[in-house]
Structure 1
Amino acid sequence: MGPDPGIRRLALGTLLAAYPGPVPPQWAVDLIGEGLAGHTLFGTNVHDPEQVAASTAALRAARSDVLIAIDEEGGDITRLAHATGSPYPGNAALGAIGDVALTRRVHQAIGAELAALGITVNLAPAVDVNSADENPVIGTRSFGHNPDRVAAHAAAAVAGLQHGGVAACAKHFPGHGATVADSHHELPTVDAPLTLLRQRDLPPFAAVVAAGTRAVMTAHIRIPALTGDDPATFSRAALVELLRQEYGFAGAIVTDALEMRGAASAAGGVGPAAVAALAAGADLLCIGARVDAGLVEQVAAEIGTALTDGRLERARVEEAAGRTAELATWPRSTGAADTPPAELGYAAARRAVRVEGTLTGLGRPLVVQLHASSTIAEARVPWGLGPHLTGVEQLRIVATATNPVTLCRIAGHRTIVLVGRRLHLLPGAADLVAALAAQHAVVVVEMGWPGSWRPAGVHAFVTTYGASHANGRAAAEVLGLAS
């Protein structure tokens, strides 16, 4: 006797899968017809707007209320513009500007663009308070380190996205900003009392709930005072008692990708992680980016087994599938979204740039970009000043493999403009900057989270609060180098 098809369909109704390539394979379409909640689009699924629209139409042909999600945060995290970099600054830049009306306009523009392509849910905004300067996974994805400022911009971003016609999914509950470990690779621990969480990390989530966000995404982080030994994704105390009961959230609770080690390792695999998340109160389970039909069936079967062996109650899974269905049928277009100015993001990015020191006499410098690793969340999106410069020599180097004397010889009488992301954390970069500044004219352009590091002896320290295409052009313009 085979598995109960009703149980399989119920289980599929809680799953957000993914598929490889620019054209949805037949299995991805068939699963939607069989009850799969939907798919998340990643950079590998995006070639150009017409192709994305064709893909979403193909998915919707299988079932009109399919969920089609994407991580389009603006700034460093972009899927639509992964080949070039986003035309919008990210949250850190918007927070630095401090204009909540601008934050709303930028996110409304992003929402309208997604809705026009047939995308229904944006897995954004990140509303984490970046209280740890060395946070490896949030950084410029955050509106800042002040809870009140983050809360105000978070509410504006949610309102903008949803006015643009796409459901917002605020993340990463109950706050990923105090971690110094990356939940893509391990399970971070935030050893803080609940009183501190309520003061520091939770105000933005209260704000987005009040703003009507349709979804909230969980964080794969452990907070012993709240979640015990489990990540928040598996914690009923976090998802039901705190988010639902205390903060009054009635929308869909979405998990971060269950393939991430912060979840999969903690549970013993993606299937058990799905069961644990459902039991804790999650509704829509993101499987991850590397998904095939076999993995979807494996996870659905694990949920089905848990329903029969008592680990899951049917009423809980029905509730989850019901909330997911409500998210899928939420009105996707208000008809009120205006066409944004073409230069909206670029003008905003210029307002975010901060210059400490002097840029006079820069002339035609030698621009040196220091290689930096990227997190899984950031992906390998082009960044830097390169696309915006003409007639300026540029080098790409690795700090630990570069002799400062040789670099000074190459520069000659020209100023060296060193461009990087999180330079003080990049191996060898701080020492290289110090060695160069001791014998040469140096300007530093920091395109990551700036923190408190300011190298001695440099002529200027320029902060962009992000590394999007818009941030890169803004920096080039401030330096007087834009083509």
Structure 2
Amino acid sequence: MSGHPWLVCGVAGLQLSPEERALLQALQPGGMILFARNLQSPAQAQDLVASLRELPGSPYVAVDLEGGRVNRLRALLGELPSPQELSRHGEEAARALGEACGAACAALGINVDLAPVVDVAGEASFLAEEGRCWGHSVEDVARLAGAFLAGLECFGVAGCLKHFPGLGSGPVDSHRELPVLGDEVKLHREAFGKLASPERAVMVAHALAPGLGEAVAPASLSRKIVSLVPREAGLIMADDVEMGALAAWGSLEERATAALMAGCHQVLLCNALEARQAVADYVDFWAEKDPALAAALERASFRVSRFARGTVSPVSWAEAQERAAEVRQRWGKA
């Protein structure tokens, strides 16, 4: 296995420095993820994405573009209505948001959108308070998130169902602390089964799910929970291992290794840019000593090699802006 296809990492700024380019050429990550710090204008973003896609191993380039609060393209595209706002208007609105997100990603060359949220909103849901959930039932979430995905995918952009097994009953933000999911998760995880397919990824949450038989390890580090991800899923990724929810689970290197051993095919390392090489070296070191980890990395490499390999649709930035403006005009966030 060449490179580190299991790694999805961020970059520092608006363009690659010679030093960062050399690092990434050596690391050969399987995916790159962009944030607001990386996106200043359409032309600049297109150039950065092209330089990332040209790296050895041809990594996919991803962004978080859900609508509402989670919109890494805000500086370029403007505001978008949230899933919660659009859920009142049904599948047409959900698909239109997916099309707007897909067009924007495709116009920039981004081929993976880490959306939609497939978490079913519970009574004390942190995500619901942020407007990120599509509904309060498995049926509504599957119907509306499915419409979003249909819109996204018509532009050749792959989606990612998150956050398995379902953060909708989580009362706290996993960026800061470890949520403990209620028994509702037994039902809520069915939404993922309704939407999983080989063309879509599934992101596993950093949350305890005692209702699913795991009261010790977070879902992302639990072989038991990861094994419950629908088999139809094309790729399984662990959420960002820098999150506060994993504070009690060792170093970044140890967390990444544990997620891979649990069965995740990829690990997100979004902001700790100085740790990219160290995390890769640590996993390499232990893979040489542990046949089980080496086998896990081989399985991961195979899955990554088959994910998001299509070509995004040729879309102008003007068309992407028009689609976003139409969603705002018809359903809010004008």
| TM-score normalised according to structure 2 size | 0.90
Instruction: Report Cα offsets for 1:89-109 as digits up to 9, x if no partner.
Output: 111011122x21321122022
8 A contact 1:148–1:203 mirrored in 2: no
Aligned residue among 80, 85, 95 for 1:93: 85
> Quick one: which amino acid aligns to residue 290 of structure 1?
A
SS in 1 for 2:208: coil
Shift of 1:79: 0.8
Shift of 1:253: 0.6
Aligned equivalents of 1:342 and 1:47: distance in 2?
18
SS in 1 for 2:40: coil
Is the counterpart of residue 296 in structure 1 residue 289 in structure 2?
A: no
SS in 2 for 1:314: helix
Aligned residue among 11, 31, 35 for 1:19: 11
Instruction: Report Cα offsets for 1:407-453 as digits up to 9, x if no partner.
Output: xxxxxxxxxxxxxxxxxxxxxxxxxxxxxxxxxxxxxxxxxxxxxxx
Aligned residue among 53, 63, 70 for 1:70: 63
1:261 aligned residue: 244
8 A contact 1:129–1:150 mirrored in 2: yes
Larger radius of gyration: 1
8 A contact 2:84–2:131 mirrored in 1: yes
Shift of 1:61: 2.8
Is the counterpart of residue 150 in structure 1 residue 141 in structure 2?
A: yes
Aligned equivalents of 1:203 and 1:278: distance in 2?
24
8 A contact 1:42–1:70 mirrored in 2: yes
Judged with a 3 Å threshold, the aligned counterparts in structure 2 of structure 1 residues 320 and 33 are, in CA distance, closer, same or farther, namely same
1:197 aligned residue: 185
Aligned residue among 216, 235, 243 for 1:229: 216
Deviates more, 1:128-137 or 1:299-308: 128-137
8 A contact 2:199–2:234 mirrored in 1: yes
1:270 aligned residue: 252
8 A contact 1:76–1:85 mirrored in 2: no
8 A contact 2:119–2:167 mirrored in 1: yes
Aligned equivalents of 2:126 and 2:201: distance in 1?
24
Judged with a 3 Å threshold, the aligned counterparts in structure 2 of structure 1 residues 232 and 250 are, in CA distance, closer, same or farther, namely same
Aligned equivalents of 2:19 and 2:299: distance in 1?
26
Aligned equivalents of 1:303 and 1:96: distance in 2?
46
Aligned residue among 30, 38, 46 for 1:45: 38
8 A contact 2:181–2:211 mirrored in 1: no
Deviates more, 1:282-291 or 1:126-135: 126-135
8 A contact 2:107–2:315 mirrored in 1: no
Aligned equivalents of 1:258 and 1:341: distance in 2?
34
Judged with a 3 Å threshold, the aligned counterparts in structure 2 of structure 1 residues 341 and 78 are, in CA distance, closer, same or farther, namely closer
SS in 1 for 2:307: helix
Is the counterpart of residue 313 in structure 1 residue 293 in structure 2?
A: yes
Judged with a 3 Å threshold, the aligned counterparts in structure 2 of structure 1 residues 137 and 130 are, in CA distance, closer, same or farther, namely closer
8 A contact 1:137–1:182 mirrored in 2: no
Aligned equivalents of 2:103 and 2:78: distance in 1?
18
Shift of 1:318: 0.9
Q: What are the equivalent positions in structure 2 for 1:155-194 lying under 5 Å apart? A: 155-192=146-183
Deviates more, 1:212-221 or 1:229-238: 212-221
Judged with a 3 Å threshold, the aligned counterparts in structure 2 of structure 1 residues 64 and 191 are, in CA distance, closer, same or farther, namely closer
Instruction: Report Cα offsets for 1:216-268 as digits up to 9, x if no partner.
Output: 1111000123223111101111112x11xxx32241111111100213x2420
8 A contact 1:110–1:164 mirrored in 2: no
> Quick one: which amino acid aligns to residue 58 of structure 1?
S
Judged with a 3 Å threshold, the aligned counterparts in structure 2 of structure 1 residues 70 and 138 are, in CA distance, closer, same or farther, namely farther
Return the structure number with greater relative CO, CA threshold 8 A, min gap 6: 2
Shift of 1:315: 1.7
1:121 aligned residue: 112
Aligned equivalents of 1:84 and 1:123: distance in 2?
17
Instruction: Report Cα offsets for 1:376-428 as digits up to 9, x if no partner.
Output: xxxxxxxxxxxxxxxxxxxxxxxxxxxxxxxxxxxxxxxxxxxxxxxxxxxxx
SS in 1 for 2:67: coil
Q: What are the equivalent positions in structure 2 for 1:84-483 lying under 5 Å apart? A: 85-86=78-79, 88-97=80-89, 99-135=90-126, 139-192=130-183, 196-199=184-187, 201-209=188-196, 213-226=199-212, 227-240=214-227, 242-243=228-229, 247-263=230-246, 265-292=247-274, 295-310=275-290, 312-329=292-309, 331-333=310-312, 341=323, 343-350=325-332, 470=333, 473=334
Aligned equivalents of 2:42 and 2:313: distance in 1?
21
Shift of 1:134: 4.9
SS in 2 for 1:131: coil
Judged with a 3 Å threshold, the aligned counterparts in structure 2 of structure 1 residues 342 and 127 are, in CA distance, closer, same or farther, namely closer
Identity %, equivalent residues? 30
8 A contact 1:158–1:170 mirrored in 2: no
Instruction: Report Cα offsets for 1:292-328 as digits up to 9, x if no partner.
Output: 3xx1111111111221332743121011122112214
8 A contact 1:163–1:336 mirrored in 2: no
